[in-house]
């Protein structure tokens, strides 16, 4: 059956940018990614969160054809992630954790070299546009080694955008960058998303997670939860109280062993106390704090509360190997 060109283009635009099912990857005896299924829509900023060593980077590479899974299937930009990985690479911009440009070249020279690697025909025009789009034109002649972290970040993003990719893969792009540069970077990401460019970004920062359209949280190779920030929070069914008063450290230690309390986390001059049974949690808190000069008030459960809760229930995929090794 054939379709008019317009219908075909509309179908392509409506299709998910990433749609993968039951991806698995092991390195030796370590099962790094376990049955990962994920879907990212066009123009969506999808945040990928998890602790160090959780399999985020490996998962990103699997989903985009940069690494072949041991099992599972899926598509990226409409291409099969196993059989058509080269086509995917031509349409993806990948920004790694580590800054990897030549520090003894200028910003323009780095971008021109990158354009040659992509074998772009009109390299000068592409470089000029990237410089202008990322606010780098006035610094085009500056040596890259003299740039601050925020400006290096802009250069890396400019290089990613040179070949006009449909999907950006950003692996902890704002690590070590000051808050103002991070804010400007995220404003640029939302500007790109508004143009229909999809963004898959891994981050450790909760404020950045809240800027994403959707989130996924991975721990020890397993996807624990995904959805909007509100969906992720609501799915856990947690109640949180903020406690203020004297000697909060001692109070937090006592509370951890009491009924209805699943976690206590220090937040500045307060301690957030969280549990699933709201009535039991409040009763325990009021009994423990009675007469001690404490104030207790309900507060919205935040993403950080949820992710700490999820980590407490996660199983370390080094655990089985470590247990076996200890018995030898």
Q: Which two tokens stand for residue 52?
A: 């160090």
- The confidence score (pLDDT) of residue 136 equals 92
> How many CB atoms sit inside 10 A of residue 177's CB?
18
Distance CA 209, CA 214 (A): 8
3-state helix, strand, coil in the chain (%, to 5): 40, 25, 35
- The confidence score (pLDDT) of residue 314 equals 67
Determine what percent of the chain is predicted with pLDDT higher than 70: 91
The residue length of the chain stands at: 328
- DSSP letters for 177-211: --HHHHHHHHHHHHHHHHTT-EEEEE-S-HHHHTT
79 vs 181 pLDDT, higher one: 79
Does position 35 have pLDDT exceeding 80, yes or no?
Answer: yes
- The confidence score (pLDDT) of residue 318 equals 54
Residues 171-178 have a mean pLDDT of: 80
CB 274 within 8 A of CB 263: yes
- The confidence score (pLDDT) of residue 8 equals 39
Rg (CA), the chain: 23
Q: What is the pLDDT of residues 54-66, one digit of tens each?
A: 888 899 899 988 8
Domain 239-300: state its class: alpha beta
Distance CA 253, CA 35 (A): 37
- Which among 58, 72, 53 has a CA at the least distance from the CA of 316? 53
- The confidence score (pLDDT) of residue 205 equals 84
- Which among 135, 134, 128 has a CA at the least distance from the CA of 108? 128
- The confidence score (pLDDT) of residue 238 equals 95
- Which among 56, 59, 68, 88 has a CA at the least distance from the CA of 165? 88
Range 125-131, long-range pairs (CB < 8 A, 24+ positions):
126/162, 126/163, 127/162, 130/158, 130/159, 130/161, 130/162, 131/107, 131/158
The verdict on pTM exceeding 0.85 is no
Residues 179-191 have a mean pLDDT of: 88
Residues 263-278 have a mean pLDDT of: 92
CB 288 within 8 A of CB 229: no
Domain ranges of the chain: 11-232, 239-300
- The confidence score (pLDDT) of residue 5 equals 44
- The confidence score (pLDDT) of residue 13 equals 59
Does position 4 have pLDDT exceeding 50, yes or no?
Answer: no
Phi, then psi, of 264 in degrees rounded to 5:
-130, 130
Residues 4-20 have a mean pLDDT of: 64
CB 232 within 8 A of CB 269: no
Enter the CATH code of domain 11-232.
3.40.50.300
Does position 286 have pLDDT exceeding 60, yes or no?
Answer: yes
């Amino acid at each position: 059956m054939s379709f008019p060109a317009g219908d075909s283009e509309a179908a392509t635009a409506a299709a998910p940018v990433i749609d993968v099912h039951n991806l698995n990857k092991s390195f030796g005896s370590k099962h790094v990614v376990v049955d990962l299924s994920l879907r990212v829509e066009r123009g969506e900023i999808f945040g990928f969160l998890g602790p160090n060593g959780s399999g985020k980077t490996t998962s990103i590479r699997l989903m985009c054809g940069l690494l072949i899974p041991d099992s599972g299937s899926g598509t990226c930009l409409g291409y099969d992630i196993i059989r058509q990985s080269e086509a995917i690479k031509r349409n993806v911009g990948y920004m790694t954790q580590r800054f990897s440009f030549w520090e003894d070249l200028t910003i323009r020279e780095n971008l021109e070299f990158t354009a040659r690697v992509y074998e772009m025909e009109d390299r000068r025009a592409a470089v000029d546009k990237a410089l202008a789009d990322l606010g780098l034109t006035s610094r085009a002649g500056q040596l890259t080694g003299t740039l601050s972290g925020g400006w290096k970040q802009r250069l890396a993003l400019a290089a990613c955008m040179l070949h006009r990719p449909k999907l950006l893969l950003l692996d902890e792009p704002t690590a070590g960058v000051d808050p103002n540069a991070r804010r400007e970077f995220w404003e640029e990401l939302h500007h790109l998303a508004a143009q229909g460019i999809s963004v898959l970004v891994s981050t450790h920062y909760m404020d950045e997670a809240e800027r994403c359209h959707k989130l996924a949280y991975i721990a020890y190779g397993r996807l624990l939860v995904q959805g909007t920030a509100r969906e992720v929070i609501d799915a856990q069914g947690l109640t949180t109280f903020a406690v203020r008063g004297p000697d909060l450290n001692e109070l937090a230690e006592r509370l951890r062993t009491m009924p209805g309390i699943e976690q206590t986390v220090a937040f500045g001059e307060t301690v957030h106390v969280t549990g699933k049974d709201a009535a039991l949690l409040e009763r325990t808190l009021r009994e423990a704090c009675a007469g001690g000069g404490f104030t207790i008030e309900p507060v919205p459960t935040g993403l950080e509360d949820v992710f700490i809760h999820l980590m407490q229930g996660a199983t370390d995929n080094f655990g089985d190997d470590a247990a076996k090794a200890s018995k030898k």
